[in-house]
Amino acid sequence: MIRQLAFDLPARDALTRAEFFVSPANALALATLDDWHDWPGGKLLLTGPKGAGKTHLAHIWAAEASAAMLSGVDLSTADLPALAETGRVAVEDAEAVAGHPQAETALFHLHNLLLPAGRLLLTAAAPPRDWGLHLADLLSRLQAAPVAQLQAPDDALLSAVLIKLFADRQITVPPNLIPYLVARMPRSIDAARALVADLDARALQDGRAITRALAADLLDSAGGE
């Protein structure tokens, strides 16, 4: 028998509105982003657990608002005046600036250059008071930002994410697999991403289709480790 070799190829990751599934866990956050013209003070902080969909929502907003995007870790070397001239900026993982004086100062200056006329979206896992910021002026400005919070994914959202992740890898799975996985997996989108990747790798390694039986084998072996 010829065994198919498994290669860790990157899956297509679609971060458009069409690929975003709305559920009670994220509907309010999405509505708040859609209302970006009326954000108080021109800024919004989007918080939620890792893998809850912050990056997806930030990309949706950046596309629809024609905003520049960068990570908090890149702020210290960014061209702040050029960013401010765009009028709209999204900073992902903004809490990464904490404890780095140059990065904290860069975010402070970007905030002041951009607002109130522009728009600033920040994503983070927690509110600014928990970041460990040293620059008091930056902390006070960020604490004044309205907050849109993503909740932990519910069953409907996890199901939609699993379907999307399989589709991104161009994998068709039987209908009974999705509820089976949702009932047994950890409650996070990161876990869904890892689970789909592991199922894809195991199927390629064993030369099998992705089925409930394969999922059971994978989950049982993971539980025994």
Task: Decide if 122 is inside a domain.
Answer: yes
% of residues, the chain, pLDDT over 70: 92
Angle at 70 between CA 43 and CA 83, to 5 degrees: 65
Domain boundary among 149, 181, 198: 149
pLDDT tens readout for residues 23-63: 888 999 999 999 999 999 999 999 998 878 899 999 999 99
d(C-alpha 74, C-alpha 97), whole Å? 9
**Looking at the structure, do residues 53 and 122 belong to the same domain, yes or no?**
yes
The CATH number linked to 63 is 3.40.50.300
Whole-number pLDDT of residue 38: 96
3-state SS assignment for residue 144? coil
Whole-number pLDDT of residue 2: 26
Total domains in the chain come to: 2
d(C-alpha 53, C-alpha 143), whole Å? 22
d(C-alpha 121, C-alpha 48), whole Å? 14
The band of 10, judged by pLDDT with boundaries at 50, 70 and 90, is very low
Full domain range(s) for residue 161:
155-223
| Phi, psi of 120, rounded to the nearest 5 degrees | -130, 120
Task: Decide if 90 is inside a domain.
Answer: yes
Torsion of CA 218, 219, 221, 225, to 10 degrees: 130
The CATH number linked to 217 is 1.10.8
